[in-house]
């Protein structure tokens, strides 16, 4: 019994690191799309910068991991906890690959949270969902894009006022240089929030399997998740980079600076509050906010609408998909 639990736990850890790796290349665009589109950084340099800063960001915090590990459901109370986590990860991975293939900047966070919720419900019923904790997570996921839109709009509005008499060519050079720092800040913030979701799901599995009694995130979990997301980032997600970097609005250096600074700050604040947010939603919303402050008709609202539709369907689709995976795995095991 112990050997089978250990083997299944190892499979869960491998799936979680696979999800983390896919999250890295799926969400690479979040950190570097604007700096590449304005030619502040070459693609190779941008990806190396994003990979390293993602790695360091992932090592600094554990609050989001503990939120994922405890606020949706209590892993110690699930009879089939390892199968629940396996089903959740398979569903989240499948959805991430589908949206990556079609170049849609969907949310890895929504995918994981929806999948874990669906797998728990399929296993133990709605009564095992911590409705208060789930509501807090859902509120953070829904409110963060609005805050990011406001942040992007505010930063861009300030730039327009402060530099209204500046020479465009000189301002472009200055903001292109500043984008190097905001891209690094963006990648660091991405690591502080996104990598912790995989840390949380691994810790959830370890508690469910009885290998640990609390939600403390061990060092090996931190390092392996940090390495996986950094490695995934190094691969790059060029389809999504093209969508985020060119198909929402025409991005200039000042716009890119404003979008990166606003969204990274929102993500860091969420991390400090121990709440998971969608970096995809936050960064895309910040870009739309910047575009609205600069010139609303310049925003390609059709692309934005397509992204919103993907965001809206991710939670229900992954919830159902994880339920199907759970029923299949429960029959097999």
Q: Dump the DSSP string for 174-200.
A: HHHHHHHHHHHHHHHHHHHHHHHHHHH
pLDDT for the residue 242:
52
pLDDT of 13 strictly over 60: yes
- Cα 157 from Cα 184, distance rounded (Å): 23
Q: Are 191 and 56 in contact (CB under 8 A)?
A: yes
Share of the chain above pLDDT 90, in %: 56
Q: How far apart are CA 92 and CA 116, in angstroms?
A: 9
Q: How does pLDDT run across 197-223, given as a tens digit for each residue? A: 999 999 999 999 999 999 999 999 999
Q: Does the pTM of the predicted model rise above 0.95?
A: no
pLDDT for 91-125, tens place per residue? 999 998 888 777 676 788 889 999 999 999 999 99
pLDDT at 245: 44
Q: Which range among 17-26, 38-47, 184-193, 270-279 shows the weakest confidence by mean pLDDT?
A: 38-47
Give the count of beta carbons closer than 10 Å to the beta carbon of residue 79. Answer: 9
Rounded to an integer, what distance in angstroms lies between the CA atom of residue 81 and that of residue 59? 26
pLDDT digits (tens, 9 = 90+) for 74-94: 999 998 999 999 999 999 999
Cα–Cα dist 13/205, whole Å: 8
Task: Give the CA count within 13 Å in the CB-facing half-sphere of 239.
Answer: 13
């Amino acid at each position: 019994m112990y050997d089978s639990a250990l083997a299944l736990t190892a499979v869960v850890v491998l799936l979680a690191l696979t999800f983390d790796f896919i999250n890295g290349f799926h969400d690479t665009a979040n950190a570097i799309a604007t700096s590449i589109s304005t030619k502040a950084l070459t693609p190779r340099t941008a990806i190396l910068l994003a990979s390293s800063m993602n790695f360091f960001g992932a090592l600094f915090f554990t609050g989001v991991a503990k939120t994922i590990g405890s606020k949706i459901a209590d892993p110690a109370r699930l009879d089939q906890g390892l199968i629940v986590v396996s089903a959740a990860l398979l569903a989240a991975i499948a959805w991430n690959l589908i949206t990556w293939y079609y170049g849609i900047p969907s949310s890895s966070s929504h995918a994981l949270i929806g999948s874990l919720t669906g797998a728990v419900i399929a296993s133990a019923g709605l009564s095992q969902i911590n409705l208060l904790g789930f509501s807090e997570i859902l509120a953070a996921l829904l409110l963060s894009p609005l805050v990011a839109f406001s942040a992007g709009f505010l930063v861009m509005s300030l730039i327009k006022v402060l530099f209204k008499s500046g020479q465009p060519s000189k301002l472009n050079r200055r903001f292109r240089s500043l984008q190097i720092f905001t891209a690094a800040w963006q990648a660091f913030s991405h690591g502080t929030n996104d990598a912790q979701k995989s840390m949380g799901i691994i810790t959830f599995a370890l508690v469910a399997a009885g290998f640990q009694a609390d939600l403390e995130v061990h060092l090996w979990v931190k390092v392996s998740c940090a390495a996986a997301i950094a490695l995934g980032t190094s691969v790059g997600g060029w389809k999504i980079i093209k969508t985020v970097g060119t198909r929402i609005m025409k991005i200039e250096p000042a716009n890119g600076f404003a979008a990166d600074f606003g969204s990274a700050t929102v993500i860091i604040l969420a991390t400090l509050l121990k709440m998971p947010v969608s970096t995809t939603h936050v960064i895309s919303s910040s870009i739309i906010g910047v575009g609205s402050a600069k010139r609303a008709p310049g925003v390609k609202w059709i692309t934005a609408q397509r992204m919103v539709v993907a965001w809206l369907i991710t939670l229900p689709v992954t919830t159902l998909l994880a339920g199907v995976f759970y029923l299949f795995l429960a029959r097999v095991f």
